[in-house]
């Protein structure tokens, strides 16, 4: 959600801010703006801060920003509306009455109403409907020549989540940032400093970054920075290196990021597996778990906490853990677990799964489990993210940057992480060395199987052209393919805006079969195991009621092809590894339906990549 960029240094700030905001477009937004401290002399009566903000896309902001706008320090923001409608006035940055203070804010200020009432009594005039504007007036209320002190004083009044960047015209070249529950990263350059909510906005300028923790405040000038807590105690910073290359966040030969990321999956799965396949012992090497072998062996049950696509990966993971490692496992929606007064059991392992590592529901659920004494491992893509840093250990999935809002390659990399963890735990219990070797051979073959599955691109595009006109879909699967059906339905909803529901195939007779008509296609995922015949029976039930059928099944399955109206063949793999080859056709189907309908595939409406608010 919302993006923050700040810059102070020798270069033209406006260009760097707009470029940085452009790189944050994938997070989802509906308006954007910048504030720049003017360069050169300030005329009498002229406001020293130039604030330009527009609803709509970055392109609208870019047109409004003069190409020769002087000024070498400033802050920028992309807004995803929470308080107030999508208007220029509600866009960030916000300023105080004097126009000398500007702020940008990610998050929610829960007590903004009483703060606003108090500030209005003190003479503040509010120009927006947002909760964020109170921050600018609150900082002005406390300002006495030191922006850092004023912001810290303001934070003492605020309840909620925030990532904040602030500047004051009387302190040229200084930007102050604060974090609580919303990510903020400092970029350390050569004679310049940057601030952002995501490293993708920094990568073109520096690979040296400092990830702020909750409760920390950074004050930066072009040549120096200081990090402290809200009690003004200095914090010793750790400078990390971004390992991503700039080309990883550019489209290259592809028309959009989602297409690029779908076709990067063979390589991203290989990265998730690299260095982790222990062929000698028929097991997996997971060095980041931070648990001794005896502690891993003592695990009696596993609980996954996640949201959205990551929850679907967790559902697959739980089935693997139960069927292969013989450990009871359950996937929980983080937003529900957090408020449920959960029972944290001894000898339970909790897994917090999040692509961004910043998902608010998952992060807060993780903290609640830890507060109750539970051990939580993170399964994350983003190095340095909050869940990665606050968890007790974990597995990086190494997908590389995922720019499209709808997750694709991170999902299959999360699956790879669950297969590795399952193998590691299974080999501690009932799985033999020989069985471990067979499992590894199948896992090693997964990237190539995914590559072959993606070769159905043109066939799937043709099917999507025929079916994009439908308004309702059912996605049906059994066993390990039931969560994949859920994920396929979610992808279609996310990017095409077509209503779709995922169900376990055996459940259609318990209600959903009432929806079947010639106008409601069913997309079946057909397993190649003991559930195949039962799934075919379900297909015949749909066929008998006039429902169109799209079937994704193992190549050479003539019976399925004869029943289905459309047949998408996928490579023949062991049934345990079918999730890998079933996912790409569903992603491509959603993608091509969205294109056929003229949707914005990378930035679908109302959605955000990193959901950092409730």
Nearest CA to 593 out of 406, 319, 378, 362 is that of 406
- Longest alpha-carbon distance in the chain: 83
First to last CA, the chain: 11
Nearest CA to 521 out of 483, 478, 467 is that of 467
* Collapsed DSSP state (helix, strand, coil) of residue 566: strand
Opening angle at CA 439, ends 434 and 444, nearest 5: 125
CA 517 vs. chain centroid, Å, equals 36
Phi, psi of 364 (to 5 degrees): -70, -35
* Collapsed DSSP state (helix, strand, coil) of residue 187: strand
State the catalytic residue, choosing from 38, 100, 491, 609: 609
Q: Specify the pairing of strand 193-196 against strand 185-188.
A: antiparallel
Task: Order across the sheet with 240-241: list the strands.
Answer: 49-55, 31-37, 73-79, 3-8, 193-196, 185-188, 208-211, 240-241
For residue 389, what are its two tokens?
């840093």
Q: Is residue 409 within a helix (H) or strand (E), and if so which, with residue range?
A: helix 409-426
CB atoms under 10 Å from CB of 120, counted, come to 13
* Euclidean distance between CA atoms 343 and 173, whole angstroms: 50
Alpha helices in 427-469 (DSSP H): 433-453, 457-467
- Is 609 a catalytic site residue? yes
Burial 554-593 (b: 16+ CB within 10 A, else e): beebeebeebbebbbbbbebebbbbbbbbbbbbbbbbbbb
Alpha helices in 26-169 (DSSP H): 58-64, 112-121, 133-142, 147-155
- Is 2 a catalytic site residue? yes
State the catalytic residue, choosing from 2, 256, 318, 380: 2
For residue 550, what are its two tokens?
């799209």
Nearest CA to 184 out of 195, 193, 175, 173 is that of 195
Which residues are annotated as catalytic?
Answer: 2, 609
């Amino acid at each position: 959600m919302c993006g923050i960029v700040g810059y102070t240094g020798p270069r033209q700030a406006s260009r760097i801010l707009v470029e940085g905001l452009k790189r944050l477009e994938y997070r989802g937004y509906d308006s954007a703006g910048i504030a720049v401290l003017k360069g050169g002399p300030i005329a009498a009566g002229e406001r020293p801060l130039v604030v330009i903000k527009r609803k709509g896309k970055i392109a609208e902001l870019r047109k409004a920003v003069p190409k020769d706008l002087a000024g070498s320090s400033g802050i920028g923001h992309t807004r995803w509306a929470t308080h107030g409608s999508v208007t220029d006035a509600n866009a960030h940055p916000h300023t105080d009455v004097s126009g000398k203070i500007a702020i940008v804010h990610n998050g929610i200020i829960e007590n903004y109403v009483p703060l606003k009432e108090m500030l209005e009594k003190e003479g503040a005039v509010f120009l927006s409907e947002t909760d964020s504007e109170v921050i600018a007036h609150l900082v002005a209320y406390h300002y006495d020549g030191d922006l850092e002190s004023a912001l810290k004083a303001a934070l003492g009044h605020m309840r909620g989540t925030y990532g904040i960047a602030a500047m004051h015209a009387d302190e040229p070249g200084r930007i102050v940032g604060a974090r609580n529950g919303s990510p903020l990263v400092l970029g350390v350059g050569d004679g310049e400093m940057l601030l952002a909510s995501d490293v993708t906005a920094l990568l073109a300028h520096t690979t040296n970054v400092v990830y702020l923790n909750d409760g920390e405040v950074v004050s930066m000038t072009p040549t120096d920075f200081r990090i402290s807590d809200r009690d003004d105690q200095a914090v010793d910073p750790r400078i990390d290196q971004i390992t991503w290359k700039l080309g990883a966040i550019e489209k290259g030969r592809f028309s959009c990021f989602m297409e690029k990321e779908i076709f990067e999956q063979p390589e991203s799965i290989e990265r998730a597996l690299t260095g982790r396949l222990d062929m000698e012992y028929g097991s997996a090497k997971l060095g980041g778990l931070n648990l001794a072998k005896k502690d891993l062996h003592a695990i009696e049950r596993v609980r996954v906490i996640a949201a959205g696509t990551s929850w679907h990966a967790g559902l697959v993971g739980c089935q693997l853990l139960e069927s292969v490692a013989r450990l009871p496992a359950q996937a929980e929606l983080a937003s529900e677990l957090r408020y449920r007064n959960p029972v944290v059991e001894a000898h339970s392992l909790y897994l917090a799964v999040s692509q961004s590592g910043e998902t608010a529901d998952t992060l807060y659920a993780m903290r609640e489990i830890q507060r109750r004494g539970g051990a939580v491992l993170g399964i994350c893509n983003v190095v340095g993210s909050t869940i990665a840093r606050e968890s007790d250990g974990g597995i990086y999935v190494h997908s590389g940057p995922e720019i499209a809002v709808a997750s694709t390659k991170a999902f299959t990399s999360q699956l790879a992480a669950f297969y590795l963890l399952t193998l590691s735990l299974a080999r501690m219990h009932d799985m033999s060395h020989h069985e471990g070797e067979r499992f590894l051979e199948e896992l090693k073959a997964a990237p190539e199987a995914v590559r072959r599955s993606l070769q159905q691109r043109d066939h799937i595009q043709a099917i999507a052209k025929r079916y994009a006109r439908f308004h309702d879909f059912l996605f049906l699967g059994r066993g390990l393919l039931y969560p994949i059906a859920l994920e396929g339905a979610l992808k279609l909803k996310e990017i095409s805006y077509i209503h779709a529901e995922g169900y376990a195939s055996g459940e259609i007779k318990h209600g959903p079969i009432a929806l079947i008509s010639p106008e409601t296609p069913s997309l079946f995922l057909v397993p190649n195991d003991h559930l195949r015949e039962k799934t075919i029976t379900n297909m015949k039930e749909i066929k008998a009621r006039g429902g169109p059928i799209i079937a994704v099944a193992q190549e050479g399955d003539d019976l399925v092809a004869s029943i289905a109206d459309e047949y998408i063949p996928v490579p023949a793999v062991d049934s345990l590894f079918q999730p890998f080859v079933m996912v790409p056709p569903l992603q491509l189907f959603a993608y091509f339906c969205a294109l056929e309908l003229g949707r914005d595939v990378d930035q679908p409406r109302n959605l955000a990549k990193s959901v950092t608010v409730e």
